[in-house]
Amino acid sequence: MATRIHIAASPNTGSTNLAGSFFLHVLFAGSIVLFAWMHHALGNTWGDTTQTTGAIQASMVDAIPLPATAPPTDNVLATDNPSQNPAPLTPATVAKPRPNEILIQNKVKQPTKIAERATPSILHPQSVAPSNRIPAGEAPGLQIAVSTVQLATGTSSMSVPASDFGARYAYYVNGINHTVSNNWWQQEADPRASNGHSVTLLFDVLRDGTPTNVRVEKASGSISLDLSARHALQRVEGFGPLPDTYRGDRITVEYTFDYQLH
Amino acid sequence: MQMARMLTPHTYAPSRTLRRFCVVVFAISFGVQAHAQDWVHIESSNGVDRIRIAAAGFKPLSSDPATTGYKHLFDLTLYSDLNSAGIFDLVSQSLAPMSEPGTPAEMAVAQWSAAPASAAMVAFGSLNVIGGNIVVDGWLYDTHNTVDPKVLGQQYSEPASDESTRHIAHEFADEIILRLGGGLPGIAETHIFYVNEQGGNKEIWEMDYDGQEQHQITRLGTITLSPRISPDGNRLAFASLGHDGWNIRVFSMLLGRMVSFPAIGGTNLSPAWSSDGRQIAFSSSRSGDPEIYIGDEAGNNLRRITAYVGPDVSPVWNPRTNSQLAWISGRTGLPQLYIMDSDGTNVQRMTDGGYATSPSWSPNGQFIAFAWDRKYGPGVPGGQDIYVMEVATRKWIQLTHDTGRCDFPSWSPDGRHIVFESGSGKSSDIWTMLADGTGRHKLTTNGTGTMPNWSWR
């Protein structure tokens, strides 16, 4: 069984299209009018003449107070656009004295007396004859009893009192100096209070190299500097065993921490 | 006309703005480049002069080729050990006298103290192979002390082999360094543990401090990272990828096998031993966010010490006190270096920007070495380098410059050296240097070494 589908053209197609077009145009024009009315009634009113009551109000004026134009001058350097610089000052005229006038001298004022001060004595640099002595700590090599280390802030120097330990085992003395100076944290000392001061510690080094019996021999006057020196010794675990050929069971070391800001 | 005049500024505006923008960009880029080239130089020697020392060739007491071979290996190793110690001014072999004194009787001290050697100390001795053992007599003389010049006299005897020859040279060098270095023991007998990549797997390897005797430790067939040897040298902790994710695992150096360590879940990385060997810190994400945990040596009694949003990783102990930890935290964005007390209090941020990783606390507690990319960001010049910061003052110095990507610094037990990884692209090698950035040399050469960790002794 076959199914037939018949599609017939409508006889009044032309008039329907015309009416629809007319209806659409009217609708379009109406929507424009409606939008204009709504915009006028409800939208913003920028640019119209109605008074606004907002916080900011602008009203039209007849004239704007412009700056007055400068009057023409006789100055040859003047231009049509005068600068804002002030006019040069006219020198004040001073009346000349008449020939018969006699000048009255002012009363002579006595200078006030000032007590004499003692002239400060100036210390002239004295020339010092060069010494032929080799300063301790600056001698080359290791054969020195006193060892000095130059640090970023100041110096540290040490000596082993008594015996000839420093001369015989200079390398060991140097080792102590390296270790202590490396463990001296100068930032622990207050720069203002410590500058120019030095503290001297005494301590013993046992046979196995352990430092012990740390005591302050000469305090610096700066508590923080004294503490930083003590802390340096506390950080050291050992200096290494005393030299094999050394017969004693301990050595006593005198160590000076000198704080100098450069 | 008016319209044209009005439009003119608008049509010019983009080009002028563009030109100004370009000028500003160039100025900034040149400014940044100039700033990136600033080098900070700090002398770490405190002005202390180095001891000038000479290492005389050891005298072979027999003429057989084996003894001669051991003699050359011994001389080379001793010279290298003293040269890399960081406290000596070693007399160049071309300036040293030609003689090889084998005994104190043959030692002419004046010959060594005079120019051009000008040595303050001289190491010498003899070497022989007797009955399958290598016997070495070594002395150290103070050339300025004519009365009693002997500083050190030692005799060593071990079964003859290249390894034992090197070992004796290391021992003798360490004795010299202990005597002359102010009590700090030398590092010639220390070892370095590192990660080596082979065939897609990463295993832990070990080598001598000078790069010799490289050999494999773990054979897990997986990826292992961040090896950390315990202070007694008996246990090796590391992070390993297993079927249950990343976990801390421990290898016994005594037993030669893995020992148990609890798996607590999450990703667990970067273990760190306290210097007494009783505690271990690591980062774990068992709670979701990577945080720092501390447990005992067996991994029990865990406690969490960080609780802040953002990753907290790479803990290291202050080995001097064991009461502080340094670690890397991303709580403010890019990872930064922080320190805190071991109970999690007193948190202090140490770096002021950039991208900081891999801290390592110096043995004396004074410094932290870490990797830092100070100018991190796209298109920013600069790279990742090794820095050292003084903890008390937060002053830092840059140790590596223009040597590629540097990471994973680790202090030597004497605090005078730092081992680190340097590389570019996928290739990386292990390097050492003195803690002031000088004396740099490469230990591995195959481009697969990474994450070094220096043993404690």
How much is the average pLDDT of B225-249?
95
For residue range B52-62, what is the model confidence (pLDDT) as tens digits?
999 999 999 99
Does A248 fall in a domain?
Answer: yes
* Residue A73, pLDDT score: 55
Provide the pLDDT confidence category of residue B419 given band limits of 50, 70 and 90: very high
Provide the pLDDT confidence category of residue A133 given band limits of 50, 70 and 90: low
Q: How close is the nearest chain A Cα to the Cα of B179, in Å?
A: 6
> Which of B120, B121, B183 has its CB closest to that of A209?
B183
Binary contact (A171, B120; C-beta < 8 A): yes
Burial class of residue B45 (count of CB atoms within 10 Å of its CB; 0-12, 13-18, 19+): middle
Does A109 fall in a domain?
Answer: no
Considering only residues B26 and B339, tell me which one the structure prediction assigns the higher pLDDT: B339
Sort out which chain A residues have CB atoms less than 8 A from B184's CB and list them.
179, 240
Q: By the 8 A CB rule, do A256 and A176 touch?
A: no
Q: Pick from B174, B364, B121, B402: which is nearest to A143 by CA?
A: B121
Does A192 fall in a domain?
Answer: yes
SS3 sequence of B275-318? CCCCEEEEEECCCCCCEEEEEECCCCCCEECCCCCCCEEEEEEC
> Which of A171, A187, A238 has its CB closest to that of B151?
A171
Q: By the 8 A CB rule, do B414 and B403 touch?
A: no
* Residue A138, pLDDT score: 41
Cis peptide before B413 (omega within 30 of 0): no
Q: How far is the C-alpha of A166 from the C-alpha of A213, rounded, in Å? A: 20
**B22, pLDDT greater than 90:** no
Provide the pLDDT confidence category of residue B403 given band limits of 50, 70 and 90: confident
**A140, pLDDT greater than 90:** no
Does A157 fall in a domain?
Answer: yes
CATH assignment at residue A199: 3.30.1150
Chain A residue with minimum CA distance to B147 = A168
For residue range B119-173, what is the model confidence (pLDDT) as tens digits?
999 999 999 999 999 999 999 999 988 888 888 999 999 999 999 999 999 999 9
Binary contact (A149, B47; C-beta < 8 A): yes
Binary contact (B181, A183; C-beta < 8 A): no
Does A55 fall in a domain?
Answer: no
Does A237 fall in a domain?
Answer: yes
Q: Which amino acid is at A136?
A: A
Q: How far is the C-alpha of B60 from the C-alpha of B70, rounded, in Å? A: 9
Say if B392 is an interface residue toward chain A (CB within 8 Å).
Answer: yes
Sort out which chain B residues have CB atoms less than 8 A from A183's CB and list them.
364
Provide the pLDDT confidence category of residue B47 given band limits of 50, 70 and 90: very low
Binary contact (A175, B183; C-beta < 8 A): yes
Q: Classify each residue of B347-361 as buried b or exposed e, where b means 16 or more C-beta atoms within 10 Å of its C-beta.
A: eeebbeebbbbbbbb
Does A180 fall in a domain?
Answer: yes
Q: Pick from B125, B123, B137: which is nearest to B177 by CA?
A: B123
With both helix axes pointing from N to C terminus, report the angle between B162-180 and A170-183 in degrees, rounded to the nearest 10.
80
For residue range A31-50, what is the model confidence (pLDDT) as tens digits?
999 988 876 665 555 555 54
Q: How many domains does chain A have?
A: 1
Q: Pick from B296, B306, B313: which is nearest to B237 by CA?
A: B296
Q: By the 8 A CB rule, do B282 and B270 touch?
A: yes
* Residue A79, pLDDT score: 58
Separation in Å, CA A6 to CA A3, A11, A68: 10, 15, 92
**A12, pLDDT greater than 80:** no
Tell me which of A182, A184, A247 to substitute to probe the interface with B (most B C-beta atoms closer than 10 Å): A182
Question: Could you give all domains of chain B from N- to C-terminal order, each with its CATH number?
Answer: 51-180 (3.40.50.10070), 191-454 (2.120.10.30)
Q: By the 8 A CB rule, do B111 and B91 touch?
A: no
Q: How far is the C-alpha of A22 from the C-alpha of A27, rounded, in Å? A: 9
Considering only residues A127 and B429, tell me which one the structure prediction assigns the higher pLDDT: B429
Range of the domain at A243: 146-258
Sort out which chain A residues have CB atoms less than 8 A from B181's CB and list them.
175, 178, 240
Does A33 fall in a domain?
Answer: no
> What mean pLDDT value characterizes chain B?
87
**CA-based max dimension of chain B:** 111
Q: How close is the nearest chain B Cα to the Cα of A46, in Å?
A: 23
For residue B198, give every residue at least 6 positions away whose Cβ sits within 8 Å of its Cβ, in sequence order, or none. Answer: B448
**B42, pLDDT greater than 50:** no
